[in-house]
């Protein structure tokens, strides 16, 4: 049976670039997925015009029924999955957004959706498969300034329950008006996105332990500030440049690289160094 690679949220931006690069290098089937079917099929048409041959399937990772349909499709056509890129994500509507509705939207899409994937898609990942979680500098622990949560998220026996409580703590603080911007780096800009990316990083460590028995690697990539629609065209890297390290993690990295927070230059960064300068700075968007 064919090898299979899947990229969530890949009708544009980094996700689209990863699909394009995989189609050029991966010896197997590459799935471009998107929440909006029309936009997804338009993206596939662009790649086919380039002579590439991705497969397409609609996938809204925040909708369990959509994930179930995709799971059933993959099970019917293939034996399993070799590579999974968790790329789909949304951003706060404003840099200093404080609304509960916006916070919940970001958390549902960027964080809670991972549990649908874990329940329905992760069991299809073959032995020695690879999961690459697309993050950003917003995902480094130094984005959090609350000492209690820094300590708790750093513990070696971290569980999903710990990470859930961290996310719920933030969401409740927004809901009841107790949110303190001093708990988040850079004066609390884009707080919901930071919280979800830090939480995803923490889950990376947890899920690596859980998938170790199948020798599956779960790693996190910070691709740098990339010129995409999400960044409104601001960034230091083009999409083609930014996909080099994600592709390295999928195809070339040694199988011993596991549970790592990898910088855009392929260097492994200490995610637990909460005093580091790795956190996102809004000023970088205008520099």
Catalytic positions are: 193
List the alpha helices (DSSP H) in the chain. 13-25, 37-49, 64-77, 100-107, 113-120, 147-153, 160-176, 185-188, 191-211, 239-242, 244-247
- Lookup: tokens for 243: 């996909």
- In which order are the strands placed within the sheet that holds 81-86? 55-58, 29-34, 4-7, 81-86, 125-134, 217-221, 261-262, 268-269
Of 74, 107, 93, nearest to 197 (Cα)? 107
Of 139, 142, 138, nearest to 276 (Cα)? 142
- CB of 219 within 8 A of CB of 257? yes
Sign of the Cα torsion 178, 182, 188, 192 reads negative
For the chain, helix (H) and strand (E) counts, in that order, are: 11, 8
Helices 191-211 and 113-120, packing angle to 10 deg: 20
Other CB atoms within 10 Å distance of the CB of residue 154: 15
Strands 261-262 and 268-269: antiparallel
């Amino acid at each position: 049976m064919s090898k299979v690679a899947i990229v969530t949220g890949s009708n544009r931006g980094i996700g689209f670039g990863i699909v394009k690069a995989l189609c050029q290098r991966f010896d197997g089937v590459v799935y471009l997925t998107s929440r909006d079917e029309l936009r997804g099929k338009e993206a596939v048409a662009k790649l086919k015009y380039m002579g590439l041959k991705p497969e397409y399937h609609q996938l809204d990772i925040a909708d369990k029924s959509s994930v179930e349909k995709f799971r059933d499709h993959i099970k019917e056509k293939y034996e399993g999955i070799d590579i999974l890129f968790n790329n789909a994500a949304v951003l706060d509507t404003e840099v200093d957004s404080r609304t509960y509705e916006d916070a919940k939207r970001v958390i549902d899409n960027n964080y809670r959706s991972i549990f649908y994937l874990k329940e329905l898609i992760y069991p299809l990942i073959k032995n020695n498969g690879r999961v690459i979680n697309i993050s950003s500098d917003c995902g480094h622990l130094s984005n959090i300034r609350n000492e209690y949560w820094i300590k708790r998220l750093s513990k070696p026996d971290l569980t999903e329950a710990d990470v859930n409580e961290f996310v719920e703590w933030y969401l409740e603080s927004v809901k009841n008006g107790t949110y303190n911007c001093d708990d988040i780096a850079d004066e609390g800009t884009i707080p919901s996105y930071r919280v979800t990316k830090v939480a995803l990083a923490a889950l990376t460590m947890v899920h690596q332990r859980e998938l170790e028995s199948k020798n599956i690697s779960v790693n996190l990539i910070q691709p740098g500030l990339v010129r995409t629609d999400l960044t409104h065209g601001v960034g230091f890297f083009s999409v083609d440049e930014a996909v080099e390290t994600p592709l390295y993690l999928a195809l070339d990295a040694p199988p011993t690289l596991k549970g790592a927070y990898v910088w855009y230059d392929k260097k492994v960064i200490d995610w637990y160094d909460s005093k580091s300068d790795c956190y996102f700075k809004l000023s970088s968007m205008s520099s």
